[in-house]
Structure 1
């Protein structure tokens, strides 16, 4: 059958009496060709207007607006109308027309409305004097509700078999929710079953699906909500939400929940979906005597298990299983735990054992011990004999308390022994005492029953041992020396700036006192290597502490090998201790024996010896230098050569009176412009043992030592910097004889441009030529000329073997330049003949040039 719908608004203008409804031309909504005929009087009704209000207002709600119409017969002369609206029938009315509604207008469409909201209206007549009449009757209407409800729902995706399932959703509407329904069906079926969802709290609606309906593979559902006009869904009949029900057992109850670790306890398990042939396990171990009483009950007996709270699992024959975590506890017999009555010296570190007896199957432990913080200060805790390989965490943040947590990463522990050691620093005064109280203890999360016994700690009476450490040369106090008092317990102390040390807090007993130091190793230089070389050569004899300092490799002999090591240390090519020594400092005596310490003991003095400081010039943090000689002048001079081509930088030295045994030198250069290709001793330094260190870019450290002292002027070192004329170096530091000789650095080298012996050649020229700048009879010069019968000549010049010379000539001195005669000649003796084979010129002027 078809239903035809239509509407007509009855207003005061409709008139009184019987009214007939004529229906014509209605068109079917789904078929535009289906049109009804003309029915002139099928429906009739009567309107009675007698007694109606003289100001009559009617309201009708449609989609998105409210239509208003009115009549009045109280006023013949009027200016128009005002309309008023409120959401409350008794107050809050506000005029809604912006201007006066004209007299001839008897209707109004209010569009400033919300769907589904009820509005209340009144109107007044505006008189010709612009005053308003009383309000008309009250009319109300609501726009059609076009806003559907809103469903907020998180789909349920799985459920346990045989157990009721509650599904909920939040449903809201702009007006009100009229009803919420859930539709569900078993998977792989067609028909849905509806169920009204109940409003629980706020906007939450819920419905419970019976457990009997929850069987594998599951159910499907969707939710519908309505506000009386609109209907909305979460999920759809053709696309419902699936709820998977796994075919597995469900455990809801275990009785009892604890028993002995030896097993044998009868247990009843309640739940759902238990199937014939099901098995039960406790902590992974199979239960015995399993009987499936029904799909909701199993009886069984527990197996033996180490003390612990474990999971309980029921497994059906189809491999489906259900588990209750921490569902059953295996308890052990009582374990004894105790802390000892013990003691220790003030300022010492002590270990207090936590002793246990009859432990069985321990896998984890948590423990808190309290104490008096004025007597003990907790530092850490260590594993005991029963817990090797366990993990341990320690909390000492709270004064007077130490908490430890321990767990095994492998097998459990059983037996009697030490669970852990608690380490404390003893801060209390002698004879003070504190209780050691087990505030809490849990083993295997309480599955192991523990009977704890508290302990105590008493601070022992203690004594001090002290003395002074002085350096072997000058008896200056040596700071920073560690003093160790070794006995049943080890105690230590450190010497102060004056060398005085004290080892405090030692208990009565027998000890060995020894000293050690590994820093503050200044004062080792090339001069010390020179002294070693002099001793090895028999020039001097080193005895006592100086001999101990000289034997740096502890070979029992003082040899040039000790000098080699000292030179290596002087340029920082090796680090201390010296190879073979095993220590940086030595002490005399090596140790002291303390027997029967029952009182403070002082006067335990030692002599300190820095290995390698043969001269004994060590002082705390600095070198000691005594300037007893005329200053030595040093400079760097650059020499550009043509045969072979290249650039050398010479370290030149002038020592008029001081005997130079050792030189410690540091040079700096720009590695971007200067490339050091080779380093070799100069003529003056050829008798010195030399060590250098170029490991640091831009820095060269050099140490030179000799058993034979040096005096004079000459080149000590030659640095080959390749073919770069821009190459340069600077002297960063230099020390001669460990500072016993003052050194002046000439930055320009002008000192060596002087002629010290007055022979007409500068010191720098003579250094290059290999002659003695301090001997006026020794310089480069032509000795004589021998004339041959054919007119050729031989010019004999003073020479230095190994040097290369070039003979040059001019026919007349005013000539522009000197010309070479033949090629360069390398000298092999003190006089070198340089021939001139020219026989045409009877007169020539000659000179000799140093080539190399």
Structure 2
């Protein structure tokens, strides 16, 4: 047998033993992802540049447990018919085993997809998504692999700003409105708000949705003094707009003391696919000025402008918009109040 024939036989023997293409390593990689703090349903994929001949394998994906929580694993169409067995028991790693009766005919791309939730309040930056991988063909022979890790990027806090409006009010004033607004309503399809207020100062009376939420189901709860809870849900996201989503009407108690009071706010938003929209919350401030009670227009002086306002209210019951003119506290706007006003005039 000639040297050339010997070389051909040797080549065929090696080819039969190793299988076609076995000398070429398959690149197994982790997808790079960019996320917001608090985001849910983030998908990280384990991919191959060639799936041909793969009939089984094992993967260990490592991730920063202080940033992510693993929620689930699924096989893709490339491994349809394979038995895919995940293990999420250890924080910081996801283990996946897969086995098929025959090798994959052809293709490339994701073999398995791992779903994560991003924890709220995590720091912006980049984090490593590590990977260990082994692959086998249908005869149980190892397929050489080259592993490429991924990068998780947590974006700086941003997203939407949800805020409670500021108010300046008088003791006894009725019908004051606090708005819960957003700087960009586009895509919002649901959410929950909890507005906290000083129950010793104001009483919640009514909750209404604005035109931005036309068609939404809005469910308020004012049963607990000191807080207003509102849930909202729509069939689709808001197309565009900004401003108030919800208005809450309060009455100020007659004996409320001057000062500044927090209007606290907790908020969560979701899009029409149920994904979390990251929000930054800004609380409001309710202020009762420490001014002479007879300074009805709050310009800092008790003058003829205040007198004309008092004259319009004279003789009425001290309810609603006229409550602030009851300087004597007897329930009516009468001469008792006139004498109090006269003593304050010019101050």
Q: TM-score, normalised to structure 2's length? A: 0.41
User: Which one has the bigger strand percentage?
Assistant: 1
Greater Rg by CA? 1
> 1 or 2, which has the higher helix percentage?
2
